[in-house]
A and B are shown apart, each in its own frame.
Chain A
């Protein structure tokens, strides 16, 4: 079960670029439980396109993908209820403005579950739970989504998908636009959900620090191809990560600089500031 990509490619024609291959020959397996995956890559590398395949919002041009037993190909099949796939794989987009539309936060979060035939009463309960889960209290339920701050809107949009109780959660840059404290709150929340409920979570992000600190599997997209699928630690040991249009986490960069400038021999592969500090103190003692 879960999601399996089999030689999936996606072409589309745009007026600006003509026929354009967004992703090419993707082979990828995402199990439905316990995975915590970071999806990274430069703008235009195909990350969003890949994500949109995961809940059957778009179909492959060639190849096939299997989502919880449903085989998705370029032809629309009468037998598959594509809408029900979106309950199993929840996709949260980057900009909450494209999603929020109801008069109150409560109603907006209820929209998702009710589209999947959940009763109004049950949906209300789910909405409250989801809202609390993203760190907002009940007072927000009656507020107008458009009067919220950017960070609050973001959380409400995430709550809207969480309330649908998907088995796999895919989020497109959920922490962008949030202040550092907000980023931590959300990342800890996702990690929490992943550990407590075992749900697989896939997060598209540009933040290499977060990738290094929170994830045990990273997928790297480059010009439409999946060029890396493995541990973040391994990825950041690459000598020249820049050729993949990526960057190193800040701890690695800072410690590398210290090594170069002061001829030290620090182990640059430290994930957090605390670990880096310890490493520096160790080196000075010698």
Chain B
């Protein structure tokens, strides 16, 4: 059985058009999944459904053997956390310490244990010196790392990133992605919704959504070879892969093609 199982998930706002239609996917423990798709393809809705923020019209979600519903949401949310796009709109605490504590307070973790964990996870995300700082004195990237610390402190081992880098400047973005790589190395399951092809290339498998449906869900390399995926989803291939694709069909170009693929997939 897979770690995350989505079975024929469907969802619509106010019973109008289907925002999600018959989504069936499996995610294994420790996998890194990227989710690509045009605006309105249902990516964020899927993310919200996975943490139980939405009640599906049809289908079900099973996380580590537990079916996700209103009653089980509390338990399931201990395993899976989500980092949203706007760093400011998920920072609850008055200081970094308060914010990391928030989730644990909700889980009634005893006080001494909380203080211990806060130190531990703040250190893990390199925010130990910032525990008493207020969010206005933090950069977007720092706030996102605090969000991650808060999720890790709840002992979650699945983290969804819903375009968590899109409001960051390139430097902060790179830093955050580097940090997510270390999380993945530590064994966490990563689900990353992104518009940045370079971020998607880091994944093991890529899920491409289109108009609420699963358009494709395969290994990264396989997806990158499918040109239709990109044109249909208003996405652009990274330069190296665009060049590689254009050099297809000619034996003398094979070495260069391979190098271009190598460049693109450097993780």
Contact = CB atoms under 8 A, between A and B. Distances in A.
Establish whether A and B are touching in the complex (CB under 8 Å). Answer: yes
Interface of A: 15-16, 42-43, 149-151, 177, 179-182, 206, 209, 245, 247, 250-251, 254, 257-258, 261-262, 273, 276-277, 280-281, 284
B169 A284 contact: no
A250 B247 CA distance: 18
Contacts, number: 69
A180 to B, nearest CB: 4
B136 interface: yes
A251 B241 CA distance: 11
Interface string B235-255: 110111011001100001101
Contact of A254 (B39, B253, B260): B260
A284 B252 CA distance: 7
Contacts of A177: 166
Contact of B170 (A181, A247, A273): A247
7 contacts: A177-B166, A180-B236, A258-B256, A258-B260, A273-B243, A277-B243, A280-B253
B40 A254 contact: no
Interface in B129-143: 136-137, 139
B234 interface: yes
Interface string B156-171: 0000000000100111
B259 interface: yes
- Provide the main secondary structure of the chain B interface: helix
A277 B250 CA distance: 13
B243 A179 contact: no
Nearest to B241: A254
A88 to B, nearest CB: 30
B239 A273 contact: yes
Contact of A251 (B195, B234, B239): B239
Given A251-B239, A281-B247, 16 more contacts: A43-B139, A149-B39, A180-B234, A180-B235, A209-B239, A247-B170, A250-B240, A254-B240, A254-B263, A257-B240, A273-B239, A273-B242, A277-B246, A277-B247, A284-B252, A284-B256
Interface string B174-207: 0000000000000000000001000000000000
B26 interface: no
B259 A258 contact: yes
A179 B235 contact: yes
A209 B246 CA distance: 19
A109 to B, nearest CB: 22
A120 B42 CA distance: 40
B77 to A, nearest CB: 28
Contacts of A251: 239
B49 to A, nearest CB: 21
A254 B259 CA distance: 10
Nearest to A261: B259
